[in-house]
Amino acid sequence: MLGPPGAGKGTQAEKLARARGVPRISTGDMLREAVQAGTPVGRAAKAVMDTGRLVGDDIMISIVRERLERRDTEEGFVLEGFPRTVAQAEALDTMVDDRAPLVVIDVEVPEETLVLRLSTRLICSSCGWTSTPGATMCARCGSPLVQRNDDNAEIVRERLRVYGRESQPLVDFYQRRRTFRSVDGDQPQDAVAADISAAVASALGGRQ
């Protein structure tokens, strides 16, 4: 699942994974776990993330390759937050070469909507889950909600510039494939989820 920061990929990936009975794999969640654990990868990733830049390809590819080797992904998975660069996409192709077709969903949202979403959102201080509007505690684990260091308007715009420069070429990489679909992410969550489900079914030739 592709899309810029704030497009709702995490929420929609979880909905889709639950509906299809496969694991949701979020590189953002894996990175946050590494940051909270204070591992060398986590410390390096935090220094990069706090400036609004993207974590390097080598780290991300290694994290995803290890995760996709686990048995729970044998029947499929929903991958969110990866790939973000063409190099990562090429690496992913080799990881899934002997699996079912890779369906690529691009969630599109206007920039000003993204800036508003990201500069006003809160996330869980414990599990990293994004809050619903007006909430003060995490609906998932009950921990306090906080604002991420990189969720102020200036850094948000830098993150979107980085995304446009480094990740937007993924659309060019994927859009000629018959399993590529674009979905309007600037609508209510349930409508986005319905469009994504229909797009996946269409990309798989009608298979549910």
- Which sequence positions are flagged as catalytic? 9, 84, 121, 148, 159
Nearest to 76 by CA among 200, 205, 202: 200
Contact (CB, 8 A) for 137 and 143: yes
Classify the C-alpha dihedral 63-39-151-142 as positive or negative.
positive
Nearest to 2 by CA among 92, 129, 98, 115: 92
| Distance from the first to the final alpha carbon of the chain | 17
